[in-house]
Copies of this chain bind each other. A is one copy, B any other.
Amino acid sequence: MGFFFTYPHCQVCDWREPEDLAALLDLELRENGESQHQLLKRVQDVAKYSVKTNHPRFFNQLFAGVDYHALAGRFLTEALNTSQYTYEVAPVFVLMEEEVLSKLRSLVGWTHGDGIFCPGGTVSNMYAMNLARFRAFPEVKVKGQWALPRLAVFASQEVCHYSVMKAAAFQGIGTENVFKVNVDDRGCMNPEDLCEKIELAKSQGAVPFFVHATSGTTVKGAFDPLESIADICERLGLWMHVDAAWGGSVLLSNEHRHLMKGVERADSVTWNPHKMMLTGLQCSAILLKDTTDLLKHCHCADATYLFQQDKFYDKSLDTGDKSIQCGRKVDCLKLWLMWKAVGSKGLEGRVDRAFAHVRYLVEEMKRREGFQLIWEVAPTIKERMMKQGTMMVGYQPHGGRVNFFRMIVISPQVSHEDMTFFLDEIERLGKDL
């Protein structure tokens, strides 16, 4: 796997137009197999034309970089190829998942609770919404939503673009029943407007049941004010969910965990170690304060071929019925092994370093003229960047404003030099625009 180690000679991407790439890869699946020599060439091509997301100058997504201990854990997970549903077939991973979840919960501030690893943050958020609905109206599982009043969900307008909407649509709640709460200049939810939107929903005959707060929004990285939101949820008996898929890792840092002050008052937290903690895709936990086995009651289907009641060991170890899936990939080993390797202190150092990079970048940008202007020509700069393959950064519009670049800095392989490179490169790519 030499492509890991060829930086800085290696490009971030080797851009090809789709039709050219399809021809290069010869994707067609045929009647007969190929020689080992030919297969080796195919594996090399796949690597060559794939984006090097572990390259220090990949700033494009909320995942980036590589931790080699986590990668070893992922290889071992693949080699062992088991499903995370019974102690019988996954003895090590049933115990390990519980240990890892317990550690994440302790960072949230809970000594007890529940949880499970899910395929990605959106599914984790869906779990939270489904559990909240079930706690408020347990009859929904058997009778369906026709037995319930119209429900109302609340989330900040910053995050009402994706996972909350997907969850509301998929679970039959409907996107128009997600009420968009105003945010302040930094993109943080306005608790007063939350109260107003709750009243608005009630005045329309809907029943509020779920507040989706966010720690680390996708675009601005904003942290909603959890204490104020918790006050409101407690007063009104609403389920408080914190989507900390991106931001959760600040809980590892003594310096930055104040950003999530009040998180321990939530009912559920989504935390994706595959983002800032670099475990690799996918590793997303839904953490619960609940100690009444709500997760199992809500999702169980009692398949007799997996969860035999006459088993010769403690069947509470068969965690599969907590999941909406049947077969479930093992996602705990990569995180556990990395944690064993670098310790909580090592993880803390990474979070602190990422914040330091951002501070440096902001200072540097203030010193340079023209950056405000350059952002208006983002699509052209992006095209040049991809075709030259020197780095990758995402861009997007925001609110009424034009496109801007969204710079993600989490990889431990990133240096100040890479920050400077980013700024120089944006200037170079856009200098004639």
Contacts and interface: CB of A to CB of B under 8 A. Distances in A.
Contact of A340 (B29, B76, B83): B29
Contacts of A336: 27, 29
A79 interface: yes
Contacts of A144: 145, 150-151, 168, 172-174, 176-177
A422 interface: no
A10 B35 CA distance: 31
Interface in A14-55: 15-18, 21-22, 25, 27-34, 38-39, 42-43, 45-47, 49-51, 53-54
A333 B47 CA distance: 11
Contacts of A150: 144, 146
Interface stretch (A194-202, A229-237, A307-315, A423-431): A307-315
Interface size bracket, A side: 35 or more
Nearest to A167: B324
A206 to B, nearest CB: 10
- Count identical subunits in the complex: 2
A169 interface: yes
B79 A34 contact: no
Contacts of A308: 379, 395-397, 403
Interface string A295-331: 0001101111110101111100100000011111100
Nearest to A150: B146
A50 to B, nearest CB: 5
A293 to B, nearest CB: 16
A311 B403 CA distance: 11
Interface string A250-261: 000000000000
A136 interface: no
Interface string A275-301: 000001110000000000000001101
A96 interface: yes
Contacts of A310: 379, 403
A90 B50 contact: yes
Contact of A88 (B30, B46, B280, B386): B386
A171 interface: yes
B60 A302 contact: no
A218 interface: yes
A71 interface: yes
A253 B72 CA distance: 37
A394 to B, nearest CB: 6
- Shortest beta-carbon contacts, A-B, top 8: A144-B174, A172-B172, A119-B119, A145-B172, A312-B383, A27-B99, A33-B343, A32-B343
10 contacts: A21-B95, A27-B95, A50-B82, A51-B80, A51-B82, A53-B81, A130-B170, A144-B151, A145-B172, A218-B305
